[in-house]
């Protein structure tokens, strides 16, 4: 998958001497139409867009993403809607990679093979499945690879050295490093310096893999983690959507401003 | 899919933790892989250690108060006619329910692993109350996650938890019941797994938690086996073991010693929460044929919609009000070793009324579901049939609900 869109995005960022910016928003938050508009607008600044498929029992997500997910479900977003959001987005910008992220039960109920087929048809570039860890994810990951979809492995500060090697070996173009012991959107409780040290241990194993850091990254902290291949911001964006709705302001404009500022910090 | 003999059911899983190839497993975020692996290793080691078994038995006897009694419900039996109805009064255990077994073992494991903090989830409040008791006994700091709706309806248990020095963390997300309490507890563990031990309150969750809980509650059936032999000189020919099933920890504990018997000899009957008579909602994934799904780290039958969103449940009994169920009960269902049915809120209330009218027994709303089934089938059965109900909880905690629904407590 050497020439995958995901790989190309990292290459482009590297050429510009900066980390790639990855955004996370929940599909259908707060409506199908709005979430597509948000996606289109922030893709001006984001290098890769993660799109969450909302689940009502998310065991690894903090308050901000939970709120977004509940809001989207309440507004009636279905898996097929998510695929149609991706399709429409890809017609608008076919050069931007889209990564779907969510929990395994939804894929399981939809049917693994049907899900992958739909991903391929709507041009999804990658998948993150939070509760399908290595090695249980091996079969699913290889199915993804056969269909030219990146299955993104996660690594955490608790991952042992031996596991780390095995996970990297089975990984595709991108690896997601969880910055600290936390659900999404927690306060950064480890110093950025320390996070980068841990991050470099992963890079040392295989320099060709693109490793991104996520969890707890905000406008305040993003600059300090600049050395990474990529940085993911999710909860801070979801929080802005919640805030904008509460204040009856334009979510698209407000969220785009946040993403633009994030990008400026790492340029 | 087949059951094996002479191997405890909790150990009949494959290397990925699945019973029958499809129930259970460990669907967990990467961060929890290591702590779950550590716990698995530790438990594997401890359960083989004679010293640890000795310690467990010591606390079961002197702290939990084992064995709990096994009594015949003479009046109820003669009123109904037909089968003899017996009860294993597990509610006599310290704290008033079977949850004390799992809580005690988890506290011992937590100590052995050198962790000072313990967290747990609770629905009816018994798992939380017992964990707070065990934490106090063994000098551990304790946090209990509980749905805001359950905090309101199970106040006596909340008071007990606070008296034991535990912090109750109210959960306001989703339906504000057990399902959300478990999610929030798991999230807390994701963030604090380096110094905190997590106790899952039932035989649910990632594989290792199913095993630890089942290993702990199995004490109930070990006692019952001895008591049966003592009472009848040998194990009677027609037995039916009736137990309520929410997560399924008391049912597994009640049955584990008897799973190897033929089902014509010892029938296992699980009773789920059917919810209010007129409501579409229930908490009975086994008996009302829910599809397999993944909830809280394990695959099991789960109340859910076509999209895989977890469905709201409804039951008068907070302890049974859970959309999933233990993977080992799914396995027992599919191998047809156990039979699962449900009782409605109304049936459980009627059963409570009848049992308390005839007997000096005060079963909580959870075992009242099991009594409802016993009351239903007893008249149709022969006199030599022994129906045994696990009266696994005491109704003190239900005082407000009972007062409201029956006008008295």
Which pLDDT value is given to residue B174? 84
pLDDT along chain A (267 residues), means of 10: 91 97 97 97 98 96 95 96 98 97 98 98 98 97 98 97 97 97 94 97 95 97 97 97 97 98 97
Which pLDDT value is given to residue A1? 72
Structure tokens at B14: 């494959």
Q: Give the 3-state secondary structure of residue B5.
A: coil
CB A211 within 8 A of CB A7: no
B-chain residues near A78 (CB < 8 A)? 307
Q: How many CB pairs under 8 A join A and B?
A: 112
For chain B, report the end-to-end CA distance as a whole number of angstroms: 46
Note whether B16 contacts A: Cβ–Cβ < 8 A.
yes
B-chain residues near A152 (CB < 8 A)? none
Type and span of the H or E element at B184: helix B178-192
Angle in degrees, CA A144, A145, A147, rounded to 5: 70
Which pLDDT value is given to residue A265? 97
Of the candidates A56, A57, A182, which has its C-beta nearest B191's C-beta?
A182
Instruction: Give per-residue pLDDT as tens, A200-255.
Output: 999 999 999 999 999 999 999 999 999 999 999 999 999 999 999 999 999 999 99
Residue B11 has pLDDT above 80, yes or no: yes
DSSP chain A: -TT-HHHHHHHHHHHTTSPEEEEEEETTSS-HHHHHHHHHHHTTT-SEEEEEPP-SS-TT--HHHHHHHHHHHHTT--HHHHHHHHHHHHHH-TTS-EEEEE-HHHHHHH-HHHHHHHHHHTT--EEEETT--TTTTHHHHHHHHHTT-EEPEEE-TT--HHHHHHHHHH--SEEEEE-SSS-TT----S-HHHHHHHHHHHHHH-TTSEEEEESS--TTTGGGGTTSSEEEE-HHHHHHHHHHHHTT--HHHHHHHHHHHHHHHH-
User: Domain-by-domain residue ranges, chain A?
Assistant: 5-266
Which pLDDT value is given to residue A209? 95
CB A154 within 8 A of CB B29: yes
CATH architecture of B28-60+98-214: 3-Layer(aba) Sandwich (3.40)
Cα of A173 to nearest chain B Cα, Å: 18
The pLDDT of B345-361, averaged and rounded, is 98
Note whether A190 contacts B: Cβ–Cβ < 8 A.
no
Q: Do B174 and A70 touch (CB under 8 A)?
A: yes
Structure tokens at A86: 């991706």
In angstroms, rounded to a whole number, what is the distance separating the alpha carbons of residues A167 and A175?
9
Question: Residue A105 — φ and ψ, nearest 5°?
Answer: -55, -35
A-chain residues near B302 (CB < 8 A)? 105
B-chain residues near A103 (CB < 8 A)? 294
Note whether B174 contacts A: Cβ–Cβ < 8 A.
yes
Residue B298 has pLDDT above 90, yes or no: yes
Cα of B327 to nearest chain A Cα, Å: 15
Note whether A256 contacts B: Cβ–Cβ < 8 A.
no
Which pLDDT value is given to residue B175? 85
In angstroms, rounded to a whole number, what is the distance separating the alpha carbons of residues B184 and B181?
5
Which pLDDT value is given to residue A181? 96
Structural fold of domain A5-266: TIM Barrel (3.20.20)
Model confidence band, residue B143 (pLDDT cutoffs 50, 70, 90): very high
Instruction: Give per-residue pLDDT as tens, B148-205.
Output: 999 998 999 999 999 999 999 999 988 899 999 999 999 999 999 999 999 999 999 9
Which pLDDT value is given to residue B114? 96
Cα of A160 to nearest chain B Cα, Å: 7
Beta strands in B123-265 (DSSP E): 141-147, 167-171, 196-199, 239-244
Model confidence band, residue B408 (pLDDT cutoffs 50, 70, 90): confident
Q: Is the dihedral of CA A103, A104, A109, A112 positive or negative?
A: positive
Note whether B179 contacts A: Cβ–Cβ < 8 A.
yes
For chain A, report the end-to-end CA distance as a whole number of angstroms: 27
Residue B409 has pLDDT above 90, yes or no: no
Nearest to A34 by CA among A217, A257, A244: A244
A-chain residues near B21 (CB < 8 A)? none
The pLDDT of B237-249, averaged and rounded, is 98
Q: Which residues pair with B2 in a beta bridge?
A: none
Which pLDDT value is given to residue B110? 98
Mutate which of A158, A170, A190 to test chain B, going by most B C-beta atoms within 10 A? A158
Residue B229 has pLDDT above 80, yes or no: yes
Cα of A192 to nearest chain B Cα, Å: 17
**For chain B, where do the domains classified as CATH 3.40.50.1100 start and end?**
28-60+98-214, 65-96+218-406
Model confidence band, residue B265 (pLDDT cutoffs 50, 70, 90): very high
Of the candidates A107, A154, A158, which has its C-beta nearest B34's C-beta?
A158
Of the candidates A55, A109, A160, which has its C-beta nearest B34's C-beta?
A160
In angstroms, rounded to a whole number, what is the distance separating the alpha carbons of residues B316 and B282?
10
Of the candidates B16, B173, B306, which has its C-beta nearest A136's C-beta?
B16
Cα of B326 to nearest chain A Cα, Å: 16
Q: Do B190 and A181 touch (CB under 8 A)?
A: yes
In angstroms, rounded to a whole number, what is the distance separating the alpha carbons of residues B409 and B111?
40
Q: Do B187 and A60 touch (CB under 8 A)?
A: yes
Mutate which of B17, B36, B194, B308 to test chain A, going by most A C-beta atoms within 10 A? B308
Q: Which residue is it, tokens 């075992």?
A: B367
Note whether B291 contacts A: Cβ–Cβ < 8 A.
yes
The answer, yes or no, to whether the previous bond of B104 is cis (omega within 30 of 0) is: no
Structure tokens at B258: 């008897």
Residue B108 has pLDDT above 80, yes or no: yes
Cα of A65 to nearest chain B Cα, Å: 12
Q: Which residues of A are designated catalytic?
A: 50, 61
Note whether B194 contacts A: Cβ–Cβ < 8 A.
yes
Answer whether CATH 3.40.440.10 is correct for domain B65-96+218-406. Answer: no
DSSP B51-107: HHHHHHHHHIIIII-SSPPEEE-HHHHHHH-SSEEEEE-GGGSTTSBTHHHHHHHHH
């Amino acid at each position: 998958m050497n020439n995958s869109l995901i790989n190309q995005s990292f290459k482009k960022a590297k050429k510009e001497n900066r980390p790639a910016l990855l955004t996370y928003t929940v599909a259908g938050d707060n409506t199908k139409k709005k979430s597509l508009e948000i996606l289109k607008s922030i893709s001006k600044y984001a290098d890769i867009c993660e799109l969450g498929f909302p689940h009502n029992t998310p065991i690894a997500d903090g308050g901000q993403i939970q709120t977004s997910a509940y809001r989207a479900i309440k507004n009636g977003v279905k898996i097929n809607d998510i695929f149609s959001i991706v399709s429409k987005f890809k017609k608008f910008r076919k050069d931007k990679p889209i990564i779907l992220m969510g929990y395994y039960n939804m894929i399981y109920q939809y049917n693994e093979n049907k899900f992958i087929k739909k991903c391929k048809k709507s041009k999804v570039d990658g998948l993150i499945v939070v509760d399908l860890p290595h090695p249980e994810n091996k079969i699913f990951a290889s199915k993804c690879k056969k269909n030219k979809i990146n299955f993104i492995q996660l690594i955490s500060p608790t991952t042992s050295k031996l596991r780390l090697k095995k996970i990297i070996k089975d990984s595709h173009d991108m690896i997601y490093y969880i910055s600290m012991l936390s659900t999404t959107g927690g306060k950064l409780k480890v110093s950025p310096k320390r996070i980068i040290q841990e991050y470099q241990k992963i890079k040392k194993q295989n320099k060709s893999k693109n490793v991104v850091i996520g969890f707890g990254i905000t406008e305040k902290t993003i600059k300090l983690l600049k050395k990474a291949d990529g940085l993911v911001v999710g909860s801070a964006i979801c929080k802005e959507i919640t805030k904008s709705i509460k204040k009856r302001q334009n979510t698209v404009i407000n969220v785009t401003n946040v993403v633009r500022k994030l990008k400026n910090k790492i340029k | 899919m087949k059951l094996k003999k002479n191997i405890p059911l909790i150990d009949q899983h494959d290397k990925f933790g699945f019973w029958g190839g499809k129930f259970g497993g460990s669907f967990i975020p990467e961060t929890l892989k290591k702590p779950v692996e550590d716990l698995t290793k530790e438990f594997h080691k401890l359960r083989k250690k004679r010293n640890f078994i000795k310690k467990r038995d010591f606390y079961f006897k002197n702290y939990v108060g084992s064995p709990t009694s096994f009594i015949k419900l003479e009046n109820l039996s003669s009123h109904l006619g037909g089968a003899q109805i017996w009860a294993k009064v597990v509610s006599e255990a310290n704290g008033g329910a079977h949850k004390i077994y799992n809580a005690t073992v988890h506290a011992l494991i937590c100590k052995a692993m050198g962790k000072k903090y313990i967290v747990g989830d609770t629905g009816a409040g018994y798992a939380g109350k017992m964990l707070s008791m065990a934490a106090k006994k063994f000098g551990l700091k304790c946090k209990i996650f509980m749905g805001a709706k359950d905090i309101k309806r199970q106040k006596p248990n909340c008071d007990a938890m606070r008296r034991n020095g535990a912090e109750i963390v109210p959960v306001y997300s989703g339906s504000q019941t057990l399902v959300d309490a478990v999610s929030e507890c798991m999230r807390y563990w994701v963030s604090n797994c380096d110094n905190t031990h997590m106790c899952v309150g039932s035989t649910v969750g990632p594989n290792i938690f199913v095993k630890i809980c089942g290993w702990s509650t199995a004490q109930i059936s070990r006692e019952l086996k001895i008591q049966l032999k003592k009472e009848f000189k040998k194990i009677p020919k027609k037995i039916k073991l009736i137990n309520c099933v929410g997560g399924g920890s008391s049912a597994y504990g009640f049955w584990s010693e008897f799973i190897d018997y033929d089902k014509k000899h010892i029938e296992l009957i699980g009773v789920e929460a059917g919810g209010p008579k007129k409501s579409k909602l229930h908490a009975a994934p086994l008996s009302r044929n829910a599809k397999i799904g993944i909830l809280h780290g394990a695959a099991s039958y789960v109340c859910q919609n076509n999209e895989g969103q977890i469905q709201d449940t409804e039951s008068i009994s907070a302890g049974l009000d859970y959309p999933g169920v233990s993977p080992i009960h799914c396995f027992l269902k599919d191998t047809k070793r156990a039979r699962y049915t449900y009782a409605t809120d109304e049936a459980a209330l009627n059963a409570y009324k009848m049992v308390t009218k005839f007997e000096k027994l005060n079963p909580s709303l959870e075992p009242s579901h099991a009594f409802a089934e016993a009351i239903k089938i007893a008249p149709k059965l022969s006199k030599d049939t022994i129906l045994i109900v696990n009266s696994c909880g005491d109704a003190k905690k239900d005082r407000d609900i009972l007062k409201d629904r029956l006008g008295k407590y």
